[in-house]
């Protein structure tokens, strides 16, 4: 039984402006490995998963999940209320 492992590697790379090659060099893997990981074509070893988490400075479960990650904008937090002057308005 092979369960899908979802990941946010591409999102984390994009947020930080890092290329696949730069990430691969930092992790000591081939740049194609990063592409395979991002597309879910390769399951990382525990060692590689932990190195990714250390590189991005986040817990492993921020990068990998057995459940799909919500799309950006879904499950957004409630609106922020700004208080300025005598009236409050929703941002």
**Structure confidence at residue 34 as a pLDDT band (50, 70, 90):** very high
CATH says 6-68 is which class?
A: mainly alpha
Summarize pLDDT for 45-56 with one digit per residue, the tens. Answer: 999 999 999 999
**Structure confidence at residue 75 as a pLDDT band (50, 70, 90):** low
The domains of the chain are located at 6-68
Name which residue leads in pLDDT, 87 or 1.
Answer: 1
What is the average per-residue pLDDT within 38-62? 96
- CA dist 19 → 3, 33, 39 (Å): 28, 13, 15
Summarize pLDDT for 6-26 with one digit per residue, the tens. Answer: 999 999 999 999 999 999 999
């Amino acid at each position: 039984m092979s369960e899908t492992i979802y990941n946010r590697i591409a999102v984390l790379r994009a947020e930080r402006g890092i290329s696949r090659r730069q990430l691969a060099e930092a992790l000591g893997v081939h740049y194609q490995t990063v592409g395979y990981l991002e597309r879910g074509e390769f399951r990382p070893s525990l060692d590689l998963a932990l190195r990714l988490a250390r590189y991005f400075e986040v817990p492993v479960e921020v990068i990998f999940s057995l459940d799909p990650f919500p799309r950006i904008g879904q499950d957004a937090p409630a609106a922020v209320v700004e208080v300025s002057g005598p009236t409050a308005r929703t941002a």
